[in-house]
Amino acid sequence: MELKEIQKKIDTLLSLKSGQLYQSDFLLSWDKREDEIRAVLTVAEILQMMREQNISPRIFDSGLAVAIFRDKSTRTRFSFLSAANLLGLAAQDLDETKTQIAHGETVRETANMISFLTEIIGIRDDMYLGYGNTYMKEVSEAVREGHREGALPRIPTLVNLQCDIDHPTQSLSDLLHLSRHFGSLEALKGKKIAMTWAYSPSYGKPLSVPQGVIALMSRFGMKVSLAYPEGYSLIPEVEDLAEKNSQASGGAFHKTHSMAEAFADADIVYPKSWAPYDLMQRRTELLKAGDSRHLDELETECLELNKRYIDWVCNEELMERTKDALYLHCLPADISGVSCEHGEVAGSVFERFRLATYRQAGNKPYIIAAMMFLSKVKKPTEVLSDLLQGKPARAS
Amino acid sequence: MELKEIQKKIDTLLSLKSGQLYQSDFLLSWDKREDEIRAVLTVAEILQMMREQNISPRIFDSGLAVAIFRDKSTRTRFSFLSAANLLGLAAQDLDETKTQIAHGETVRETANMISFLTEIIGIRDDMYLGYGNTYMKEVSEAVREGHREGALPRIPTLVNLQCDIDHPTQSLSDLLHLSRHFGSLEALKGKKIAMTWAYSPSYGKPLSVPQGVIALMSRFGMKVSLAYPEGYSLIPEVEDLAEKNSQASGGAFHKTHSMAEAFADADIVYPKSWAPYDLMQRRTELLKAGDSRHLDELETECLELNKRYIDWVCNEELMERTKDALYLHCLPADISGVSCEHGEVAGSVFERFRLATYRQAGNKPYIIAAMMFLSKVKKPTEVLSDLLQGKPARAS
Amino acid sequence: MELKEIQKKIDTLLSLKSGQLYQSDFLLSWDKREDEIRAVLTVAEILQMMREQNISPRIFDSGLAVAIFRDKSTRTRFSFLSAANLLGLAAQDLDETKTQIAHGETVRETANMISFLTEIIGIRDDMYLGYGNTYMKEVSEAVREGHREGALPRIPTLVNLQCDIDHPTQSLSDLLHLSRHFGSLEALKGKKIAMTWAYSPSYGKPLSVPQGVIALMSRFGMKVSLAYPEGYSLIPEVEDLAEKNSQASGGAFHKTHSMAEAFADADIVYPKSWAPYDLMQRRTELLKAGDSRHLDELETECLELNKRYIDWVCNEELMERTKDALYLHCLPADISGVSCEHGEVAGSVFERFRLATYRQAGNKPYIIAAMMFLSKVKKPTEVLSDLLQGKPARAS
């Protein structure tokens, strides 16, 4: 019965054009076609169902999945290593304090030195605007050169675990969560999602989550309402992309400086803090220059600015304006009265959705495993069918 | 021949009521029935014999065993990860410096975030009286809620790798060592074990080892003699428990302030330093308050107090009072003239038992693996028989 | 077709007397007979070819490979853990900051405590002259005692990942690289290799790479030219060994204080910085004494001394003196104008050989895996044949 469900998903996968994911990196969701996005979601669901049925999807007998985290992380780190482990790879941190990754030359060399038996490289590099995505492309080019020139027997493929522009493993996990909640991807058409800034007592949160969300949800016919206080805009190119996507998908994209307006009649709300774009740009320059005095000043300035919008909080009053909306968060949330005095969300609201946010987060290991799987398996439907029948199967 | 021995142990296991260990945590040895303790020892022996015969007991194709160490550790850390590895799980440290585990809310959330593919969580948290065991229960409740509410596909079970109250992986390793040395658990009836305090130049050692030992050995009909200088008592409830256990098992429990009295005619001696209970309580308060000045004062006070009992050392003279006793230690021991000037044990005594203490320590990976195994396998005798016959077998 | 190539290599292995590698440590290349060196190279090639054919050489179902790194490392660390992973072992760092390894007693104990399920111990300890190799032997003796006395079910074997005297995983990787480049080991006879000091703005680089190279290459009939400025000699015993080896193998060993002389008509050049032997000896004493003031003075002195030889750089002019030589480096190189202002090698020279140095480095995981394999498998040719035919095979 459940196995039939899995087989049905495999049939769905068969109908999707996802062949270009093979041996490709997954860096930006908007570089992938809709079929490819759907294929990742479908494989994630298949792997999740297999896990529930205690069917092993192990396709590697050996091999490494190297994680490079340039920012602290628990959730994404464990998601990445769980995904690697599920497929049979050993996850390995590259601790940059024990090595030296600096300028171009060394990136190129280190990328090869860690890749002799590496199948996957996962990178989080979200601190500096204009750098994270660039660094990932540099690593990717380096290992492809190494493969071409005979230094690496296989091509390690990259998974973006959050850069300065996008956070695709998050946004696809969110999309899968929505697809489940509303019944299907098709059911999302016309649904209103409020991606809104919210107050946080902390500073310097990356822009990649809201950017990833508006860029992806706008492709599935949703009405995306983006709300933030003046001065907290996202990277202009990504806002433009969301606008274009909406037009193409028959959805809508709307910007506002009012949280209440965004919440009005929303089916989904995603209130989350981020740093102002131009402050992040100044911060990047100061970090590069190692100018700690001005960095301190900038932090003070930014926290002062934040405080002006301390009323941007997802509370019961705002929730009542919605259509019984589903609350989303990438976690950890700043919860008023729980993890801080004033935060992004009221304690009572968060508690109502707490377990739902765990389930939302629980998609991530499978989304990452699906990205790995599709980049490493030439004939995914055949391999999944073999696994379903308990036959041994291996990455190609 | 050896395989027959293993089969005999499997038959023993079949006769023990250990079904309640399935999907249970192992937090305190006294929460487990005698049959369950015996089952853990038996499975540990089976796994050890299989290892010697190069028979793999791998029952997982993937899955994580997460270790949370809130105190430094080599022995227990390696024991835990060896046990995980033996069964096919990938051990993964949760480095709390890379995350934030603080108050209740975050414990609950983090516990779930690290558990999406986690089978086992091992925790060492032995520094603060009244906290370690509480924290473990909090983690356990959190992941069980996550499982109930659909966030976790499987229930991660907990193994206590040392808390403020008990150190069950140590005490069961010790019990297995004694059972081997004297021939059987039954042969331990009437044997005298001296669990005694001993001088150490260090400060703040947890109480959980002596507590675990007196609480467990008193259940197997041993004569437990607990000796410590005035002011070095253990948690009163645990001393009471040992007293009650002794009465029930036909053994004896005796407290004294004389090391010589405890050693007299002892079959087993376990001389080991620990911090005075009330000092540990004051220390916990000061640590919570972050009061480093008074912590320093407390350390000085405690070391001064220790020095008054510098003659509490397991030397040849004391050993002569015993019935050719077996010396036990959880390692590392403070060895006079070797690792410090004056320590818990004389160099010549320790050297005579050095390899024996290694064998004692060598039980731990198998004890932990047995706890994991019994909490994850519904029909342990069937699965072990399959493994013995070289058939593939998996956790349920 | 490719499988036939692998079979041919297995046949070669069959002709080599390598049985003594079984259950042996690999500490110094000169303690191994030529057949044993050849066996390691051959198995490395077989494993590499298998990897290219996606044939798994997994021979362990569980077990640890423990890495003890007493010096920073990316390349060797990843090579070691990749090798472990390839054979089915879980690599585990022993972080000495989380433990205490100090004097003899503790080494002995810790070595056993980390080894209950350990198959391989890899150690890098190259900082102190006279200590690294000694430490490795101490660990080896300790685990062999533990095995003899029943504490360890299996003997963990050691792999020297760089000590104060030798760096055998590097020199054997280099030898395999040369053997491939020139067609065979036999083709190396009469080839001139210039192992030369080169300027670096850093300080205290170990002597083990040049020592390992001259001691190994001199055994294969090469003309070894060792060049360094006055005062930069290597350990005298190793220079003498290279001299003796050369005589026995029909090669030559020549020392000079001129880089140009060494490069003249060279077939291979290996320009690489190292610290002067007597400075390293003084440094070891000061480190032991914890004398940081004199250590600072020594560093200044050494860097000043280095600067006198800033013209010892592998540039185009020198390369023109060679017979179109192959450039070798163990990486990372100090590249003039790239990673530093003045370094060991000119940017244009390095860039021409950059990918070749990656391939050179890419041998290391396989060399280490081969050392592991031959120390753990009693009948290597049988096991390799089984693996080639897709039959399951296990370490003995």
> How far does CA B88 lie from the centroid of its chain?
22
The whole-number pLDDT of residue C2 equals 80
- Chain B: touching chains (3 or more CB pairs < 8 Å): A, C
Same fold, B2-166+364-388 and B169-361: yes
| B201 C-beta neighbours (distance < 10 Å), count | 16
A65 touches chain C (CB under 8 A): no
Give C79's contacts in chain A (Cβ within 8 Å): 116
The series of mean pLDDT values per 10 residues for chain C, 396 residues long, is 90 97 98 98 97 93 94 86 97 71 69 96 90 94 97 96 97 98 98 98 91 98 98 96 98 98 98 91 86 89 93 98 98 93 97 97 98 97 95 83
Q: Which one of C78, C177, C367 makes the best mutation probe of the A interface by having the most chain A beta carbons within 10 Å?
A: C78
Distance from CA of C81 to the nearest CA of A (A): 9
The whole-number pLDDT of residue B130 equals 87
Q: Is the peptide bond before C332 cis (omega within 30 degrees of 0)?
A: yes
The whole-number pLDDT of residue C290 equals 84
Percentage of chain A exceeding pLDDT 90 = 81
Strands B268-271, B252-256: pairing kind: unpaired
φ/ψ of C138, rounded to 5, equals -65, -45
Give C396's contacts in chain B (Cβ within 8 Å): 54
Distance from CA of A30 to the nearest CA of B (A): 27
Tokens of A283: 């911060």
Q: Which of C56, C72, C358 sits opposite A98 (nearest CB)?
A: C72
**pLDDT confidence bin for A99, thresholds 50/70/90:** very low
Residues A314 and A200: their CA atoms lie apart, in Å, by 11
B153 touches chain A (CB under 8 A): yes
Give C107's contacts in chain B (Cβ within 8 Å): none
Give B334's contacts in chain C (Cβ within 8 Å): none
A282 touches chain B (CB under 8 A): no
The whole-number pLDDT of residue B1 equals 58
A54 touches chain B (CB under 8 A): yes
Q: Is the predicted pLDDT of residue B98 greater than 70, yes or no?
A: no
Strands C252-256, C223-227: pairing kind: parallel
Strands B345-346, B335-336: pairing kind: parallel
Q: Does residue A196 contact residue A268 with C-beta atoms inside 8 Å? A: no
Give C109's contacts in chain B (Cβ within 8 Å): 331-332, 354, 358
Q: Say yes or no for a CB contact (<8 Å) between C358 and A112.
A: yes
The residues facing B158 across adjacent strands are B121
Residue burial C357-373, b: 16+ Cβ < 10 Å; e: rest: bbbbbbbbbbbbbbbbb
The mean per-residue pLDDT over the stretch B264-272 comes to 98
A145-154, B277-286, B303-312, C271-280: which range is least confident on average?
Answer: B277-286
Q: Is the predicted pLDDT of residue A369 greater than 70, yes or no?
A: yes
Distance from CA of A239 to the nearest CA of B (A): 31
Distance from CA of C361 to the nearest CA of A (A): 7
Distance from CA of C81 to the nearest CA of B (A): 14
The residues facing C10 across adjacent strands are none
Q: Say yes or no for a CB contact (<8 Å) between B85 and C62.
A: yes
Residues A351 and A337: their CA atoms lie apart, in Å, by 12
Distance from CA of C199 to the nearest CA of B (A): 39
Distance from CA of C363 to the nearest CA of A (A): 9
Residue burial C255-264, b: 16+ Cβ < 10 Å; e: rest: beeebeebbb
The mean per-residue pLDDT over the stretch B374-378 comes to 97
Percentage of chain A exceeding pLDDT 70 = 97
The whole-number pLDDT of residue B289 equals 84
The whole-number pLDDT of residue B41 equals 98
**pLDDT confidence bin for A70, thresholds 50/70/90:** confident
Q: Which one of A58, A98, A112, A396 makes the best mutation probe of the C interface by having the most chain C beta carbons within 10 Å?
A: A112
Q: Say yes or no for a CB contact (<8 Å) between C74 and A153.
A: no
Minimal-distance CA residue of chain B relative to C64: B82
B110 touches chain A (CB under 8 A): yes
Give C362's contacts in chain A (Cβ within 8 Å): 116, 151-152
Residues C278 and A340: their CA atoms lie apart, in Å, by 59
Distance from CA of A278 to the nearest CA of C (A): 32
- Chain A: touching chains (3 or more CB pairs < 8 Å): B, C
**Global confidence as pTM:** 0.96
> How far does CA C317 lie from the centroid of its chain?
29
Residues B187 and B194: their CA atoms lie apart, in Å, by 17
The mean per-residue pLDDT over the stretch B21-36 comes to 98
Q: Which of A105-109, B365-369, C91-95 has the highest mean pLDDT?
A: B365-369
The whole-number pLDDT of residue C190 equals 98
Minimal-distance CA residue of chain C relative to A115: C78
C286 touches chain B (CB under 8 A): no
Minimal-distance CA residue of chain A relative to C354: A109
Distance from CA of C184 to the nearest CA of B (A): 38
The whole-number pLDDT of residue C100 equals 43
Query: If one looks up domain C170-361 in CATH, what number appears?
Result: 3.40.50.1370
| Tokens 């290593």 belong to residue | A81
Q: Say yes or no for a CB contact (<8 Å) between A62 and C81.
A: no
Residues A300 and B96: their CA atoms lie apart, in Å, by 27
The whole-number pLDDT of residue C105 equals 60
Q: Say yes or no for a CB contact (<8 Å) between C146 and B358.
A: yes
Minimal-distance CA residue of chain A relative to C331: A109
Q: Which of C64, C110, C153 sits opposite B74 (nearest CB)?
A: C110
Distance from CA of B364 to the nearest CA of C (A): 9
Q: Is the predicted pLDDT of residue B283 greater than 90, yes or no?
A: no
The whole-number pLDDT of residue B97 equals 57
> Could you give the residue ranges of the DSSP H alpha helices within A223-291?
236-249, 259-263, 277-289
Q: Which of A74, A339, A358 sits opposite B99 (nearest CB)?
A: A74
The whole-number pLDDT of residue B105 equals 60
Fold designation for B169-361: Rossmann fold (3.40.50)
Minimal-distance CA residue of chain A relative to B144: A355
Count of pairs with CB atoms under 8 A, one residue in A, one in C: 84
- Chain C: touching chains (3 or more CB pairs < 8 Å): A, B
Rounded to 10°, the helix C34-52/C364-376 angle is 110
Domain range annotation of chain C = 2-166+365-388, 170-361
Q: Does residue A29 contact residue A65 with C-beta atoms inside 8 Å? A: no
Query: If one looks up domain B2-166+364-388 in CATH, what number appears?
Result: 3.40.50.1370
Q: Is the predicted pLDDT of residue B11 greater than 70, yes or no?
A: yes
The mean per-residue pLDDT over the stretch A181-201 comes to 97
Q: Which of B112, B117, B149 sits opposite A86 (nearest CB)?
A: B117
CA angle B381/B382/B387 to nearest 5° reads: 95
Q: Is A93 helix (H, G, I), strand (E, B) or coil?
A: strand
Interface of C with B in 73-102 (CB under 8 A): 90, 92, 94, 98-100
Residues C22 and A354: their CA atoms lie apart, in Å, by 56
Query: If one looks up domain C2-166+365-388 in CATH, what number appears?
Result: 3.40.50.1370
C335 touches chain A (CB under 8 A): yes
Q: Does residue B267 contact residue B194 with C-beta atoms inside 8 Å? A: no
Count of pairs with CB atoms under 8 A, one residue in B, one in C: 84
Residues B133 and B163: their CA atoms lie apart, in Å, by 6
Q: Say yes or no for a CB contact (<8 Å) between A90 and C91.
A: yes
